[in-house]
Amino acid sequence: MLELEQNRIPSRIDMLTAWLPRLAIAVVFVAVGSSKFRDPMWVRLFGRIGFGQWFRYLTGVMQIAGGLLALVPRLAIVGIGMLACTMIGAVIVWIAFGQALAAIIPGALLALLAVAGISEYNRMRGI
């Protein structure tokens, strides 16, 4: 009976491994997403992409929303998925503009999001 009770109570290590990646994802993407609204570099970059500034706003909102959703345990996988979509788009754009080296950063973030998403999916399923 005591062993069953102990299995239901998550350890501090389990709590840290669940929350630290989600917190890091939230901090990074809320910061990057909010910079899309105030940093002139993003205005120039999205102007070069050619979709218009509405796309910069959409990307910023998706990154902020995805970062915040990553903090909600039941919705974390949705937020991570949203963020992964923005990183896939960033990789495609950098490669399409002939700057494959610049695609390394969003590619690395995409890989980290994939690992966090798989981990979150396994945690939700109880694996």
Taking only Cα atoms into account, the Rg of the chain, rounded to an integer number of angstroms, comes to 17
> Hey, what's the torsion of the CAs at 101, 107, 112, 118, to 10 degrees?
-150
In tens, the pLDDT along 7-33 reads: 666 678 877 878 899 999 999 999 999
Residue 4 pLDDT greater than 80, yes or no: no
Amino acid at the residue 77: I
Note the pLDDT of residue 71: 95
Over the stretch 44-60, which tens digit does the pLDDT of each residue have? Answer: 999 988 988 999 999 99
Residue 60's closest CA among 87, 29, 91? Answer: 29
pTM as predicted:
0.86
